[in-house]
Every structure is written in structure tokens, then in C-alpha cells.
Amino acid sequence: EPEVTQTPSHQVTQMGQEVILRCVPISNHLYFYWYRQILGQKVEFLVSFYNNEISEKSEIFDDQFSVERPDGSNFTLKIRSTKLEDSAMYFCASSSRGGIYNEQFFGPGTRLTVL
């Protein structure tokens, strides 16, 4: 069964460093998302991406964040200068269509720890 994959599973970085989180969505999916979950809290939407551009972003997704689909398979989230409060689990998700009835399939997550 096709699945969303994410690398790395755990990333430790120093405050102020840049990190890139990588995702490979399900191959025939067209809509891509990033969510984050701070430890013990709810899952929060960061950004959605369709047709090679951002379609929606939350207030969390400020200028420190960017997303890219560098090739036909990868979808990346870059944090330019990490802060302590960026420590969280980051989930990538994809869906085949953007309709409200279409489930999003999540990857296993990348746990980011900022020291």
C-alpha cells in the first residue's frame, strides 16, 4: 500500500541553524501539507501546496518557513533560522484531491529538537 515517507525521523539542531525536512508524498497525490505537533498538544496546520504553489498558510508559517517541491517526488519544509519553540513533530500529508471529503494521509513525522 502506498504511503507517505519522511526523512529524517529525528533531527537535532542548534538554535539559529537551518533545517530541511523532507517528505515523499504518495505518487499520484496532488495536494501536499505540512502540520506540526508540539509535544502534548494538538496538531496544527502550517501550509498547503498545490500546483507548485502555496494555496494556504497559517499564521505559524512566517518568513522563517518555506516549502518547495524540487522534483516530481519530494516535498520539503525549510526552517531558515530555528528557534527553541520550533521543537515539535512535523508531519507531511498528501491527498489525491482537495475536496472536503478526501482524507489526508500522513507520514510518520520528523521529530525536530532545537537546542
Instruction: Single out the segment in contact with other proteins by CB under 8 A; choices: 19-27, 62-70, 72-80, 105-113.
Output: 105-113
Three-class secondary structure of residue 12 per DSSP: strand
Instruction: Single out the segment in contact with other proteins by CB under 8 A; choices: 17-25, 41-49, 62-70, 73-81.
Output: 41-49
Which letter does DSSP use for residue 104 in this model? P
Instruction: Single out the segment in contact with other proteins by CB under 8 A; choices: 17-25, 52-60, 68-76, 78-86.
Output: 52-60
Closer residue to other proteins in complex, CB, 10/18: 10
**Which grid coordinates are listed for 98?**
482537495
User: Strands, DSSP E only, in 1-115?
Assistant: 5-7, 10-13, 19-24, 31-37, 43-50, 53-57, 65-68, 75-79, 88-95, 105-106, 110-114
**Which grid coordinates are listed for 70?**
524540487
Q: Which of 19, 21, 33, 67 binds other proteins (CB under 8 A)?
A: 33
Q: Binding of other proteins at residue 65 (CB under 8 A)?
A: no
| Site residue total, other proteins (CB under 8 A) | 29
